[in-house]
Structure 1
Amino acid sequence: MQYFIQRHPLNYDGSQLQSLFTYKNFGLMGDSVLVFRGSCTVEQNEMVDMEDVVAQDWIHSEDMLHFIVEHFDMDLEKTIVRQRLLIATIKEELEVRGVTTLRRSGDDLYAGDKKLSVSIATLSPVSTLVHCGLNISNHNTPIPTIGLTNLNIDDVFQFGESVAEHYCAEVLSMRLARCKVRGVS
């Protein structure tokens, strides 16, 4: 599993959540994590979360740290588990940096009633995908939010790379764990 840090701004509108996006745009073939920074505005026509569509919610943040994860298998339930692994990895990385006030609820992180993250897992015709966005700024968001700057995370790319590195290592570790056990009858 590989990761790529895109340091030039890239705004997220939901269309980036597609198979082979990281390969087509950044040359990373296979299971991967793309990390980038940019605004986030997802209108209903690009929404993957039907609960948000039914509620007529929309997502907006002026500045987010984004993760797009792609795995080339077709198991959505496994991908949801991986999505939660990514969220747990983010929480652990924040704890290493002294942020101990967050709680995880499903696939999101909160400080009290203020939301830090948005996240979704889905299927494409050839892979499964996860998008996770972390507010950097909490200005002009449609709901109460907190941002990485509020948590004193200043170097968001270094933070994002650390998350990607640890997520990739965890996935590799799980794959190797399958190879070291013998079957039982």
Structure 2
Amino acid sequence: MKYIVLHEPLNYDGSQLQSLFSYKNFGLMGDSMSIFRGTCRVEQNEMVDIEDVLAQDWIYSEDMLHFIVEHFEMDLEKTIIRQRLLIATIKEELEKLGVTTLRRSGDDLYEEDKKLSVSISTLSPVSTLIHCGLNVSNKNTPIPTTGLEDLRIQDVLSFGESVAKHYCAEVTSMRLARCKVRGVQ
């Protein structure tokens, strides 16, 4: 699995959650993760989470660290499990930096009642996709949030790369674990 960290800002509006995003834009073919920083504004027409659509919610952050993950398998349940692995990986990487105040609930991270993350998994015609965004700033968000700035994370893209390395290593390790066991009768 490959990853890329973009050093130029890229704003997220939901349209980036599409098959072959990393290949078309950055030349990463196959299972991949793209990490970038930019605003987040997802309107109703780009929402994947129908629960949010029905509630007429929208997603907004002035500054967010984004992860777009693509796996070339068609198992949405497995991708939801990977989504939760990504969230757990983010929490572990934050704990390595001394942030011990977060709790994971499903596919999101919270500090008390303030949300740090947004996250969704979906299926495309050729792959499964995950978007996870972490607030860098909590200014002007539509709900109570916390951000990486509040958690004293200064080098946001380096933090994103640490998450990517950890997640990619976990995926590789899981694939190798399948190859070392014999079948039983």
Alignment TM class, shorter chain as reference: over 0.9
The aligned runs of 1:86-125 (5 Å cut-off) are: 86-125=86-125
The aligned runs of 1:20-59 (5 Å cut-off) are: 20-59=20-59
Same amino acid, percent of matched pairs: 81
SS of equivalent residue, structure 2 residue 28: coil
Structure 1 length as normaliser, TM-score? 1.00
Deviations, residues 91-150 of structure 1 (Å, cap 9, x unaligned): 000000000000000000000000000000000000000000000000000000000000
Structure 2 length as normaliser, TM-score? 1.00
Partner of 2:84: 84
Partner of 2:130: 130
Structure 2 unaligned regions, length at least 5: none
SS of equivalent residue, structure 2 residue 78: helix
CA distance in 2 between partners of 1:13 and 1:106 (Å):
23
Runs of 4+ in 1 over 6 A off after TM superposition: none
Partner of 1:15: 15
Aligned residues: 185
SS of equivalent residue, structure 1 residue 125: coil
Q: RMSD of the TM alignment (CA)?
A: 0.3
SS of equivalent residue, structure 1 residue 164: helix
Partner of 1:5: 5
Q: Structure 1 residue 6: deviation in Å?
A: 0.7
CA distance in 1 between partners of 2:80 and 2:60 (Å):
23
Q: Structure 1 residue 182: deviation in Å?
A: 0.6
Give the letter aligned to residue 29 of structure 2: M
Give the letter aligned to residue 73 of structure 2: D
Q: Structure 1 residue 56: deviation in Å?
A: 0.2
The aligned runs of 1:153-164 (5 Å cut-off) are: 153-164=153-164
